[in-house]
Amino acid sequence: MDYDFKNWLKDRAPKGRLDQLAPVIGISAAAKLTKLSDSALRKYEATGLIIYHRTAGGSRMLCIEDLERIRIIQHLIKKKGLNLEGILRLWALLPCWEFRKCDEQTLESCPAAKDSDRPCWVVLREAKGCEGVDCRTCEVYRFGAYCTEDLKSLVHGLQGR
């Protein structure tokens, strides 16, 4: 298998002049923008669905893609009947080693690759880390949010069907 996840992601992720991953607003402003409470947004983070930026002082900061991620979570809850735990488990099934092209040895010893309950970014944060990669910029974390609608079509398309 040799899927071009980076290009796929480039086509789906929100575009714009601004860096989509740069922290731009605090949680209070984000709450107003999304019409949710700041507690609800913190709950998403506590569950493991989103990794917010933190300021030096420890306050959460959100980027454009975080807002898009919140929109997707809302869609999955309201339209698809999932709950927060369900979304987490769905994302836990992403084959992260395919995205990261881990070698056999790395894959064998990786706790995230064996865990079907929690996404790799949750597992590896409480464990060691993924070769020092920032999960926020990782394709697994980012792709996960966008794949839920058409992961199958991606796979079919890449197999030339």
Determine the Cα–Cα distance for residues 46 and 76; give it in Å rounded to an integer.
18
Exposed, middle or buried, 132 (CB in 10 Å: 0-12/13-18/19+)? Answer: exposed
Is the Cβ of residue 60 or residue 69 nearer to DNA in the bound state?
A: 60
Q: Site residues (CB under 7 A) for DNA?
A: 26-29, 35-40, 42-43, 58-60, 74, 77-78, 83-86
User: What's at 106, amino acid-wise?
Assistant: T
Is the Cβ of residue 27 or residue 124 nearer to DNA in the bound state?
A: 27
Q: 């601004």: which residue's tokens? A: 18
Instruction: Please report the DSSP string for 66-118 in residue order.
Output: HHHHHHHHHHHHHTT---HHHHHHHHHTS-HHHHHT--HHHHHH-HHHH-SSS
CB of 45 to DNA, least distance (A): 8
Count CA atoms closer than 13 A to 125's CA, side-chain side: 15
Is the Cβ of residue 57 or residue 132 nearer to DNA in the bound state?
A: 57
CB of 129 to DNA, least distance (A): 20
Is the Cβ of residue 66 or residue 110 nearer to DNA in the bound state?
A: 66
CB of 148 to DNA, least distance (A): 15
CB of 54 to DNA, least distance (A): 7
